[in-house]
Amino acid sequence: MQRTERIMIYAVLAVCLVLGFRAAQSTPANAGQPTAPPPTPEAPAAAGRTDDDPAPARIAMCDIYDLIEKLVVGDRFEATRKAEEERIRQRLKPLEDDISALESQLKLDDPDDPAAQARSRDYQKRRNDYSLLRGQAQQDFNDFVARQYIEAYDKVRAAAAEVAGRRAYTHVIASRHAGRAITATDPERLVESFLGRPVVVAPAESDITAEVAAELNLR
């Protein structure tokens, strides 16, 4: 059989297969069988949404990171933070004064004087004590600021829930605006910036950040 003849036969076969497939599609699967009666009004065929079905999701977004930062650096939190700083300073001051007085005395002492040598040992001990106390004070202050951030988060979350309830939103996603410039340069901070922007595209009207800020009396 010539190559041209084989090509023509294959082409005719392909056309027959296509026509047969289309005919099968156009023929109902229950052809020749009695047609089912139409549904009665008491048993509708179309299954619509019932009262028991959950409400459709309505999703909003809110830049809670910006609002938390504004709360923490604002007057409401700054006053208590400054009071904590002063409390820590007063905690360190007596030891700082002792060290300063010993330093002044040691400058006048004769290094060979046994009393001066005793003061030098006392000075070194007080410096070590101060280093430990200052480290603990710094940790205490960091813990205090961390508690402020947690408190600010709770306030922002509650305000977002209040606004979402009024606007009938079922979900609020915490996200910085996708168009906000990323200024970080090191890889770790860049990843944090990316993770803080889970919403890539959203309609402008779904952003409730301004309303949540108003709920918190933030500018």
Specify whether the CB–CB gap between 66 and 219 falls below 8 A: no
List, for residues 153-187, the tens digit of each pLDDT value.
Answer: 999 999 999 999 999 999 999 999 877 889 889 99
* Average pLDDT rounded to a whole number, residues 101-125: 92
pLDDT at 50: 65
pLDDT at 177: 84
Q: Which two tokens stand for residue 18?
A: 């296509």
Which domain covers residue 191, as residue numbers?
A: 59-215
List, for residues 19-70, the tens digit of each pLDDT value.
Answer: 343 444 444 445 445 555 445 444 444 445 566 777 789 999 999 999 999 9
Residue 6 inside a domain? The answer is: no
Residue 46 inside a domain? The answer is: no
Q: What is the pTM of this model?
A: 0.68
Residue 24 inside a domain? The answer is: no
Q: Which of 150, 167, 151 is nearest to 209 (CA)?
A: 167
Residue 180 inside a domain? The answer is: yes
Residue 179 inside a domain? The answer is: yes
Task: Considering only residues 36 and 208, tell me which one the structure prediction assigns the higher pLDDT.
Answer: 208
Residue 112 inside a domain? The answer is: yes
Buried/exposed code over 112-123 (b: 16+ C-beta within 10 A; e: otherwise):
eeeeeeebbeeb
φ/ψ (deg, to 5) at 168: 60, 35
Region of 183 (left: φ > 0; alpha: ψ -120 to 50; beta: rest) is alpha
Task: Considering only residues 114 and 13, tell me which one the structure prediction assigns the higher pLDDT.
Answer: 114
Q: Is the pLDDT of residue 206 over 50?
A: yes
Number of domains in the chain: 1
Residue 28 inside a domain? The answer is: no
Residue 127 inside a domain? The answer is: yes
Task: Considering only residues 107 and 28, tell me which one the structure prediction assigns the higher pLDDT.
Answer: 107
